[in-house]
Amino acid sequence: MTPTLFVVQLLNGLQLGMMLFLMAAGLTLVFGIMNFINLAHGCLYMMGAYFAALAYGKTDSFFLSVVAAIVGMFVLAVLLDRLALSRLYRRDHLDQVLATFGLILFANAAVRLFWGSAPLYMEVPNWLAQSVQVLGLNYPAYRVAIIVTGLLVAFGLHVLIDRTRVGMLIRAGASNRDMVAALGVNIGWLTTFVFALGAALAGLAGAMAGPILSIQPGMGEPVLILTLIVIVIGGIGSIRGALFGALIVGVVDTLGRAVLPTLLFKLFDPTVAGAAGPALASVAVYVLMATVLALKPEGLFPVQHA
């Protein structure tokens, strides 16, 4: 593998990591504050992609379709939370797994009913369709835009959580819900806001995935499972853990797929390498997760409980 290709794959890994961060940030906040396991987070990502595709078809503007996905998912999440999910926060994890599993079945079938099983495609907007110079080589501007967006969201969340009054309440809610409620804060609406914020970020991820992946029913679940790995590796409830975990998983997954097969061909004879290469490449992140957990069950960046 040439150094150029290696750098390109590294950037691809970074880009995947940023997408995963957008997913993981919302999910980890919901886990941390509501102690709620939301398997349907992947559906929010899928719905975001479909909302964006729908808006793109109507307005022909990429920017507007991203905005539509974010706003649409925020509103949808507020409704979903108020109508159904808020009843589950005080239930045990088993009930939460089951109910959100039911939601996934529903969402995937509903999308198939309305838009059909055939994948939809979105185009990269003109102003991002060129390539830019990164580290001395040409790299698609659209993927750079994803990386920059991820960094901006990370910075924005840092300001929101650590520097504002709402963020203070969110952190307080994570430590002790009942105490925050007793102090006169409407914790119900606070959790709804956090859930909707996470959904909006998932919608943003889905909208941005549109031009590089195909939009189809069930597209959320592979991403969901990678996101779960990110959260487990990073430490549940931690935004910082979500960011670093996402970057680690993104880079390991991308480089694993790019480097491992060629590496094996050099080390073993072609029949062994041909069989083992793809297998090893696709399980690299799971092996990483198992290793992290065997050494640090709390994850790499656990939340410090005061």
Partner 1 sequence: MKVASTAAAGSGSSLPAAAERPLLTTAIIALLASILLAVPAYAAMADDPYVLTLASRILVFALAAVGLNIALGYGGMVSMGHSMYLGLGAYMVVLLHGVGIDSGWLQLLAIGVAVAAVAVAVGWVALRTQGIAFIMITLAFAQLFYYLFVSLKAYGGDEGMRLEQLSSFGALTGNRTALYYALLACLGVVAYATHRLVGSRFGLVLRASRINERRVKAVGTAPLPYRLAAYVLSALVCGVAGFFLVNLTGFVSPAYLEWTVSGELIVMAVLGGVGTIVGPILGAAGLLLVEEGLKGLTEHWPMILGPLIVLLVLGLRRGLWSMLPVPTHDGGDTATKARE
Select the residue interacting with partner 1 from 7, 141, 181, 225 (CB under 8 A). 225
Contact between 239 and partner 1 per CB under 8 A: no
Contact between 87 and partner 1 per CB under 8 A: yes
Could you tell me which of 141, 145, 144 has the C-alpha nearest to residue 131?
A: 141
Which amino acid, residue 250? G
State how beta strands 137-140 and 131-134 pair.
antiparallel
Which amino acid, residue 190? L
Q: Judged by CB under 8 A, which stretch of 128-136, 153-161, 171-179, 221-229 contacts partner 1?
A: 221-229
CB of 4 to partner 1, least distance (A): 28
Taking the CB of residue 149, how many other CB atoms lie within 10 A of it? 18
Pattern of binders to partner 1 over 265-304, x per CB under 8 A? ----------x--xx--xx--xx-xx--xx--x-x-----
Phi, psi of 118 (to 5 degrees): -70, 140
CB of 104 to partner 1, least distance (A): 7
Counting every residue, how long is the chain?
306
Contact between 155 and partner 1 per CB under 8 A: no
**What DSSP letter does each residue of 125-160 carry, written as one string?**
PGGGSSEEEETTEEEEHHHHHHHHHHHHHHHHHHHH
Which residues of the chain form contacts with partner 1 (CB under 8 A)?
A: 31, 35, 37, 84, 87-88, 90-95, 97-99, 101-110, 112-113, 221, 225, 228-229, 231-232, 236, 275, 278-279, 282-283, 286-287, 289-290, 293-294, 297, 299
